[in-house]
Amino acid sequence: MSKVLPAAGTYPAKTNGKMVVYETQSGALCVAVPIVLTGADWSGKTTVTIAKKDGTLQTRSIDNMKQIFGWDGANPFDLEDMETAEIAFTIVGEHETYIPEGKTEEVTVFKIKWINPINSGAQMPQPVQDRKAVLSKWGSKFKAIATPVAKAPVKKVVPVADEDDGDIAPVPVKVTPARPAVKAPRVSSGEEIWTKLCEKYNGLPEDQIGEIYYAPQDELFNGRNDLSPTEWGQIADKLGI
Distance, CA of 99 to chain centre: 39
Mean pLDDT by runs of 10 across the 241 residues of the chain is 78 93 96 91 93 94 94 95 87 92 90 86 64 85 76 57 56 64 73 86 82 86 81 90 87
Query: Residue 51: CB partners within 8 Å, gap ≥ 6?
Result: 28, 29, 57, 58
Question: Domain map of the chain by residue range?
Answer: 9-116, 131-239
What's the confidence (pLDDT) of residue 7? 92
Class of the CATH-defined domain 9-116: mainly beta
Buried b (16+ CB within 10 A) or exposed e, 158-192: eeeeeeeeeeeeeeeeeeeeeeeeeeeeeebeeee
Q: What is the pTM of this model?
A: 0.48
What's the confidence (pLDDT) of residue 139? 81
Q: Which residues pair with 34 in a beta bridge?
A: 45
- Rounded CA gap, 73 and 93, in Å? 25
Q: Which residues pair with 197 in a beta bridge?
A: none
